[in-house]
Amino acid sequence: MNTLSLLRAQARQLDWIGVILALTLTIVIILPLLVVATWAFTEVWRYPSVLPQQFGLRFWHQTLARADVWNALMLSLRLTTTVTLLSALICLPAAYAFARMDFPGRNIFFLSFLASHAFPKFGLLVTIAGIFLQLHLISTFWGVALIQLVGTLMLMIWIPVAAFQNVDRRMEEAARDVGAGPLRVFWSITLPQAAPTIFAAVLLTFVSTFYETEGAWLIGAPQISTMPVLMISFINNQLVVQYGAVLSVMLWVPSFIALMFARRVMSSNAFAKGFGA
Amino acid sequence: MAQLTIQNLHKSFASTTAVDSVNLHVEDGELICLLGPSGSGKSTILRMIGGFEHPTSGAILIDGEDVTRLPPERRPTGMMFQSHALWSHMTVFGNIAFGLKLRRLPKAEIRDKVESALELVGLGGYGTRMTSQLSGGQQQRVALARSLVLEPKILLLDEPFASLDQHLRERLREEVRDIQQRLGITTLFVTHGQDEALAMADRIAVLRDGRIEQIAPADVIYREPQTEFVAGFIGTMNLIKSEVRNGRFHHADLGLPMPLHDGEATLAIRPEDVVLTATRNEPSAVVTRFTDFGSYHLVDVQLADGHRIKAMTAPASRWRKGDRVAVLVSSYAAFRNQHLAYTSTDTHELIKETEHV
Amino acid sequence: MAQLTIQNLHKSFASTTAVDSVNLHVEDGELICLLGPSGSGKSTILRMIGGFEHPTSGAILIDGEDVTRLPPERRPTGMMFQSHALWSHMTVFGNIAFGLKLRRLPKAEIRDKVESALELVGLGGYGTRMTSQLSGGQQQRVALARSLVLEPKILLLDEPFASLDQHLRERLREEVRDIQQRLGITTLFVTHGQDEALAMADRIAVLRDGRIEQIAPADVIYREPQTEFVAGFIGTMNLIKSEVRNGRFHHADLGLPMPLHDGEATLAIRPEDVVLTATRNEPSAVVTRFTDFGSYHLVDVQLADGHRIKAMTAPASRWRKGDRVAVLVSSYAAFRNQHLAYTSTDTHELIKETEHV
Amino acid sequence: AGGPVNVFTGADANIVDFWNNIVAPAFAKAHPGESIKVIDAGDDSGLRAIAERALAALASKTDPHADLFEAFDPKLPAGGIKAGLWVDFKQAKIPLYDHINAMAFQSDYSLPYRGSQVLLAYDSTKLDPKKAPKTWADLTAWIKANPGQFIYNRPDKGGSGGNFVRRAIHEVNGRDPAKFTIDNFTPAYAEKTLTPAWKLLQDLAPSLYDKGAYTSGNTQSIQLLAQGVVTMVPVWSDQILKAIKEGVLPDTTGLVQLTDLALCGDFNRMVIPTNATNKDAAMKLAAFMLTDEMQKAVITEIGGFPAISWDYLPKDLRDKYADVVPKSIPTFPQGDWSPAVNDGWYRNVAPNLARG
Amino acid sequence: MPTGRRLNGLLLVAIPVLLVGWLIIYPIFAAIITTIWVEDGESSKFSIASYRFFFSDAYSLGNLTLTLWTTAVCAVLLIACGLPIALYLRFSRSPLAGYIQGLAIFPMFVPSVILSYALIRTIGPNGAVDILLHSIGLPKLPTPYLTPWGPVIGLVWDNLPLTVLMLTAGLGGISNSSVEAARDVGAGPLRVFVHIILPRMGNSLLVASSFAVLGIFSSFTLPYVLGPASPEMMGPFMSRTFNDLYDPLNAKTQAVICFAFCLVFGLFYVYSIARNQEKTSR
Ligand SMILES: Nc1ncnc2c1ncn2[C@@H]1O[C@H](COP(=O)(O)OP(=O)(O)OP(=O)(O)O)[C@@H](O)[C@H]1O
Ligand SMILES: Nc1ncnc2c1ncn2[C@@H]1O[C@H](COP(=O)(O)OP(=O)(O)OP(=O)(O)O)[C@@H](O)[C@H]1O
Ligand SMILES: [Mg+2]
Ligand SMILES: [Mg+2]
């Protein structure tokens, strides 16, 4: 009886905040999503009806029937995975260097990544296009990959730097001591220790690359057409929101699975990390 | 299996000099204990040998080769850190196995080695735990196992047993000593347990403010401390400041013979060299405290001049606070200018002192 | 200034039971030492009292009031953590002053208190350092100062002196003891130093696998251990398993009288109760190891039947490996089913044993 | 021929479908060996990026990967014309070039091929079709009488609001579209002609939805109408018809055109980069769009307005669609006028919020 | 050795640095130069007229002010919403945490175009909120659609995942024991937060707000669709100047000015990282 009441007390205490947060978020986040989801299955929905006047799958048929949707989806996934991996490969060591090493120009270089997010693309288009044309990268997979890669640099460097700085140096020293070279220490100790943050960075990179359209369009058109580029053309100035809604909802399912997976990795790690040290 | 030579090592941090011209030569398979007060630079010396701090000046040689500028992973040293520095994202097994994996040992061999290391430190079956699920002492033992399992040429242990109970500590120090001797691992060992130092070390280096005060085998350090600091630091020592007059220490209760020319001097007597006998004389020394340590008793005695000294007595003895005692000394030494100036001949005959000169 | 009562406390982690139905009552101003092997649940008990772990079941009462569900900041407890848990973004001063600032003391008073706390732990002038610039022992002292400066009603110290040298440790334990007694702070104290426990504690609680084996004043624990575990754990104890036959312990060298009915029994003898004398008889006990601990010597003796026991001898004695000795016992006890079954009368007369029955 | 002609369009799905389903097969049939690939750029800024790219390609003499823009303003990117980026159709001797409706031209570098008009769409459950305003005066009176029931979108995006604004400009300048031509722009003239229009629109603002809010595009306007938030909005004819057909708007949606002077319409004009890899094919395609076959398709398939003057169109067609498609629609020149009108509106009309 | 290490550092950062330098920094400089070396007929000459125009034009300044206001409000709201969520996620062991984290991160998967439509349908006039209110007989709420609060709501919604992710990750570096020690000396949750958690989150807060600020400053879709026609945020303003007014000079000038503001903000993070590094590298 004692145990039970304790458990209940604990549950009550924890939930107060949790329940409030969960409710607020449910309303704030779910409501717009729900509206989108409903639209995806709606043919007619007019004010002031709470429910659509007419449900239907017409827009699903129309969307899914298009061959380019599936091609674009596969292409996008391939592209995004490539870019994310490449970005991790070149950025994480660089982030480590920024966090832990001293070299000439460090701060300036570090700041320079800001430029990729802070300057509007339109000012750069001509120059970038010029560079890519010369290299015959226009309208090729690797051209798009390259431009998107540049777009991920800031995320993949700025965020991990904070993570690396939080890693306890003594753990790295201990690994050096048992014979691990700097690279191995990075891979086996520093990276896993910084994992929750890095994971967040990778997730953000993946998603933002997936939904990136400007670079993909500028460099990719006409041969390389990614999912969001296709989507934009479905959605922009389109009378019917349903196409966009359908495409969104289509992407939510994999996103949601990825998210649940992410949550596992992140929380368990953060949990373990928070304990000792 | 390696000789370690430290030449003129010096390390300054922004605000402090942590290590100050340390010279040390450690022979193949020798075990040296670094003893010294908190903050005297012990960890810093180990960290420099391991390669984690860069000396401000000086050199470190292993088997005659200068390693001062080598990175840690290229030095044949294995270190156990004072802060344990366990990898919190790995299991206990993973922590111990990491170094072995780097050496590309076959899986089965790694498992065997890790398991026997865990058995050694009394953590058999804890392999799958995360390090955060261990108690403080268990973490320390994992750190110890991690440094031992690689059988490095030079082992650096920074307070390896600080959070262990006496029995475990005794068992482990014997185990470590065994391994160290069997494999001939040259070892530097930081400890605050003097027992540990006395029991394990081939030689003890006593540090003070970043300098080595004396380096010698345990019994020499205990019985022939070269400086007042060493005398006072190792074991318990009654130190009484006064002066020598006419070949005698000038003191009301302890006017012992001291063949030095006149001048200030410090008398040093071990508690076990103090013998108490009951007396009724007045004024006399008085027992002010009696502590039972099981295997012996420690008696605090206030001399007639107000000085307090400690005496060690057999478990059978029973003193009570306020008892009047006569103080006899069986052996003593004298220091002048911090350095040893005189030692009484090591006789077992009691040198009887009158309570009044 | 507060009584602490622990009722039926129990704590399980996923994989282990760390604390198992512990009952304890600590009086106003009492100092209790928790002693026990690594992993026996000492830290977990302190953490539950401090409010950092929720007991799986059981209650914690302070001055009769149930605090089991109170958050740490509303308990009148002050804890020093085994891991120090210093705040790395604050200076030494900031760490110690933080609790005082929360209490909105005037600035000048805070400074005075912090400074005297720093003086107390021998770190005067270290106030402006960052905690990462301290040695291990210095960090520990800051943690100690931080918990003392608030003068909590109940003080919980988790191995406060583990990384300190013996002298500092002795000085600090006296200081802590003084403060504790002057202010009447009820204190729970985890240590692995038995000396510490024996010297400081009003009572000692010996823990084993999350249970209290015995709780009693120091000398009782040492001289009248109620269980074989306590006997073996506190101090050094020679334990020899055999059986009682006709009122005698059945053993080649140590066939001591034992008025118990027949059956298995364990003989327990303290090293200081073993007296060695030289002999030429054969077969006899042989000295296998001789260790000089300065104030006493420890002699390992192998009995004729292969058993090894330890004997403590005076510093004047000199045994060598291989010496043949006769073994005499001045006092002993016997355990049966882990519990005390018999104690020899506490005489100082030696019970002489023939080497052969 | 090389590859397919890469046609970039930023238009709506109905136009994309038109190109894919009607134009492409017809073109392939008329010109065996040629083909079309339609690439949907989503919106104007998408086209804009490709045009920039083409300009860069021109500079570096590389392949722009673009052959024809379905509708684009050759003034973009800045300096494009000077650099010789766009094909000069006037020089190109396109067959039927001289049959094009004179009002449709804005530049020598673009080729009009279809037009559409702007109408007023309203909720006939709230406004009796018989009372629907037929003149500008009626309209403004109605707006003021029904505050919050009218909204038009910002003139720079989507155009239906922009043409409403241009109708206001016509209104204050004697309802004479001829007063504005592509060449007669001067800042002073603009100042003189536009300022009264700003006054007029400012005057309307407090009676608009939310006391002077403006939607960001045609679609948003239609959505507000669909949600019953407002009663009337200006819309593109083809778009509104499609919306009604798709059920976005109920059948009760009414349409009305002003009779004193219609709301402005506009033409879509193709451009071709001079450095296009398939320039020859693209030119063929451009010419093909002016053929009877295609002009007829513009009318029948997308409810558009032909670029070729009615006079040159087959008579049967003319007769058949006489009721649906007006004989002419007023237009407003682009060129330098566009920035002047758009920015002027942003600076003068938009900020005057009466909202508290 | 030090030179070797410095070279190593340079080597490690070389690829990304060269990439931005080549594909971002160089084009930016090219763009900046066109704003101060203005073409004037055949020749070009140095002129800062476009900057002078921007800073003397009330309309432009109004847009800049609105952008700064929106950015500030959004950043504050984001931290205010993100921190409690992150704190809850870090310290709670309740099963609700998974649900909450999932929700908080989900907006990441909703592109802003879709979001702006969804928001019009939700909080817009006669949107879902109005529908729900209407159906239970309550009056409609004034809608933020086409007011400055429209973009604020949209931007906060859109940037919440990033903020929560960054803050949660930052909180992961704070050990339980340091929190416990603070509670032990009597600090309640609020004090623990202010004195123990906040000072250690400097970097995470900065990086989270840096990204939020950058994203918001240059955002286009949400302010364009949800915001008022005037004043406009810099995103729509620049794009309008560029696309509709055929005025690349002024558009690029606006871009450079935005860039300068972002740069100032980024400097805080860079400074904090540099300082941190000095502290840990002894
Ligand atoms: N978070 C945890 N998860 C699982 N098991 C734990 C956890 N913390 C402690 N334990 C286990 O509980 C037992 C008691 O731990 P506790 O820390 O109380 O030991 P202790 O007596 O303080 O030991 P030490 O002297 O080594 O510090 C140990 O076996 C330990 O492994
Ligand atoms: N990173 C640092 N910055 C500044 N001073 C330091 C640093 N590390 C150590 N020190 C100082 O150097 C001196 C020696 O430190 P060291 O860690 O070697 O001591 P130690 O002998 O190991 O002490 P302990 O027994 O307490 O662990 C101390 O006074 C310490 O405060
Ligand atoms: Mg140390
Ligand atoms: Mg513990």
**A75/A27 same-domain check:** no
**Same-domain pairing of A222 and A158:** yes
Nearest chain C residue to E180 by CA: give it.
Answer: C52
| Ligand 1 binding pocket includes C16 (Cβ within 6 Å) | yes
Q: What percent of chain E has pLDDT over 70?
A: 96
Q: What are phi and psi of C154, to 5 degrees?
A: -125, 125
**Whose CA is closest to E203, among A91, A158, A266?**
A158
Q: Could you tell me which of C228, C269, C235, C261 has the C-alpha nearest to residue C351? A: C269
Kindly report the pTM of this predicted structure.
Answer: 0.85
Instruction: Evaluate whether residue A210 is within a structural domain.
Output: yes
Taking the Cβ of residue B127 and every Cβ of chain C, the question of whether any pair is shorter than 8 Å is answered with no
Please give, one letter per residue, the 3-state secondary structure of C283-324: CCEEEEEEEECCCCEEEEEECCCCCEEEEEECCCCCCCCCCE
**Exposed (0-12), middle (13-18) or buried (19+): which is D201, by Cβ within 10 Å?**
buried
The preferred substitution site among C43, C45, C48, C189 for testing ligand 1, maximizing ligand atoms within 8 Å of CB, is C43
| Sign of torsion over alpha carbons B4, B9, B12, B16 | positive
Instruction: For residues B30 and A275, give the distance between their C-alpha atoms in angstroms, rounded to a whole number.
Output: 39
Interhelix angle D187-204/D136-145, rounded to 10 degrees, is: 40
| pLDDT mean across residues, chain C | 87
Pocket test for ligand 1, best of B134, B144, B161, B167 (most atoms within 8 A of CB): B134
Which residue(s) pair with C42 in the sheet?
Answer: none
* CATH code for the domain of A168: 1.10.3720.10
Nearest to B266 by CA among B167, B166, B185, B336: B336
Q: How many helices (H) and strands (E) does chain B have?
A: 8, 20
Would you state the pLDDT for residue B206? Answer: 93
Q: Of A119-128, C78-87, D282-291, E79-88, give the lowest mean pLDDT range.
A: A119-128
- The whole-angstrom distance between residue E33's C-alpha and the CA centroid of its chain comes to 27
String of DSSP letters for A45-74: --TT-SS-SEE--HHHHHHHT-HHHHHHHH
CA E261-E264-E268 angle, 5° bins: 145
DSSP lists the bridge partners of residue C329 as: C274, C351
The H or E element that residue B244 is part of is: strand B238-245
Query: Averaged over E160-177, what is the pLDDT?
Result: 85
Q: What is the CA radius of gyration of chain E?
A: 23
Which is more confidently placed, B68 or B306? B68
Residue A54 inside a domain? The answer is no
Dump pLDDT digits (tens) for C320-345: 888 888 888 888 899 998 888 888 86
Q: Residue of the nearest CA to atom 16 in ligand 1?
A: C41
Please indicate, yes or no, if residue A60 is contained in any of the structural domains: no
Higher per-residue confidence, C208 vs E112 = C208
Separation CA D296–CA D285 (nearest Å)? 16
- Whether omega before A48 lies within 30 degrees of 0, making that bond cis, reads yes
Pairing status of strand B238-245 against strand B248-249: antiparallel
C13 CB less than 6 Å from ligand 1? yes
Total domains, chain A: 2
Residue A271's pLDDT band, with cuts at 50, 70 and 90, is very low
- Does residue A8 share a domain with residue A111? no
pLDDT tens sequence across B61-94: 999 999 999 999 889 999 999 888 899 889 999 9
DSSP secondary structure string, B191-235?
A: -S-HHHHHHH-SEEEEEETTEEEEEE-HHHHHHS-SBHHHHHHSS
> How far does residue B10's CA lie from ligand 2's centre (Å)?
13
Band of residue B347 on the pLDDT scale cut at 50, 70, 90: very low
CA distance A128 to A145: 14
Identify the CA nearest to C137 among candidates C193, C79, C86.
C86
pLDDT recorded at residue A235:
67
The set of residues, in sequence order, having a beta carbon less than 8 Å from that of D136 and lying 6+ positions away, is D167, D168, D171, D258, D260, D261
Q: Which band of pLDDT confidence, cut at 50, 70 and 90, is reported for residue C251?
A: confident
| Minimum-distance CB partner of A9 among C57, C69, C83 | C69
Is the pLDDT reported for residue A139 higher than 90?
no
Q: What is the pLDDT of residues D180-197, one digit of tens each?
A: 888 888 999 998 999 999
Are A153 and A24 found together in one domain?
Answer: no
CA atoms of C109 and C150, how far apart (whole Å)? 12
**CATH number, domain B4-223:** 3.40.50.300
Q: Is there an atom of ligand 1 within 6 Å of B161 CB?
A: no
User: Higher confidence at residue B182 or residue D328?
Assistant: B182
Domain of residue A19 covers 2-40
Q: How far is A67 from chain E (nearest CA, A)?
A: 22
Four-CA torsion B148, B151, B155, B161, nearest 10 degrees = 20
Q: List the single best residue of A6, A165, A268 to mutate versus C (max C Cβ within 10 A).
A: A6
**Is residue B273 over pLDDT 50?**
yes
Domain contains A113: yes
Residue position matching structure tokens 């449709």: D104
Nearest CA in chain C to B317: C348
- C288, C321 contact by CB (below 8 A): yes
**Stretch(es) of chain B classified as CATH 3.40.50.300:** 4-223
Tell me the DSSP string of B160-195.
TTTTS-HHHHHHHHHHHHHHHHHHT-EEEEE-S-HH
Residue E110 to residue E118: CA distance in whole angstroms: 10
Between CA B258 and CA B236 the distance in angstroms is 22
The answer for residues whose C-beta is within 8 angstroms of residue D17's C-beta and 6 or more apart is: none
Q: Is A28 found in the same domain as A108?
A: no
Contact E173 A166 (CB under 8 A): yes
Burial D236-265 (b: 16+ CB within 10 A, else e): bbbbbbbbbebbbbbeebbbbbbeebbbbb
Residue A177 falls inside a structural domain = yes
CB contact under 8 A, E126 and A228: no
Closest C-alpha to C201, from C183, C181, C226: C181
Q: What is the C-alpha separation between D168 and D148, in angstroms, rounded?
A: 19
Over residues A223-237, the pLDDT tens digits come to: 888 887 877 766 665
Q: Identify the chains in contact with C, defined as 3+ C-beta pairs within 8 A.
A: A, B, E
Q: Percent of chain B at pLDDT above 90? A: 43
Q: Please, how many CA atoms are within 13 Å of residue E33, restricted to the half-sphere of its CB?
A: 8
Contact E102, A259 (CB under 8 A): yes
Amino acid present at D46: G
Instruction: Give every CB contact of residue A69 below 8 A, 6+ residues apart in sequence.
Output: A63, A227, A230, A247
Where does the pLDDT of residue B350 fall: very low under 50, low under 70, confident under 90, or very high at 90 and above? Answer: very low
> How confident is the model over C45-88, as pLDDT tens digits?
999 999 998 999 999 999 999 999 888 888 999 999 988 889 98
Q: What is residue A5's predicted lDDT score, i.e. its pLDDT? A: 39
- In contact, A152 and A83? CB cutoff 8 Å: yes
- Residue in B42, B81, B213 to alter for ligand 2 test, most ligand atoms within 8 A of Cβ: B42
ipTM: 0.83
CATH number for the segment(s) C236-354: 2.40.50.140
Q: Name the closest-CA residue to atom 22, ligand 1.
A: C43
Where are the CATH 2.40.50.140 domain residues in chain B?
Answer: 236-354
Q: What is the band of A266 on the pLDDT scale with cuts at 50, 70, 90?
A: low
Is residue A7 scored above 90 in pLDDT? no
Taking the Cβ of residue A236 and every Cβ of chain C, the question of whether any pair is shorter than 8 Å is answered with: no
Q: How far is the C-alpha of D162 from the C-alpha of D167, rounded, in Å? A: 9
Q: How many CA atoms lie within 13 A of D45 on its CB side?
A: 23
- Is D7:D15 a contact under the CB 8 Å cutoff? no
For residue E107, the number of C-alpha atoms closer than 13 Å in the C-beta half-sphere is 28
pLDDT at C345: 66
pLDDT at res. D353: 55
Residues C175, B328: Cα–Cα separation, whole Å: 30
Positive or negative: CA dihedral D293, D294, D295, D298: positive
Residue A48 lies in a domain: no
Identify whether A248 is part of a domain: yes
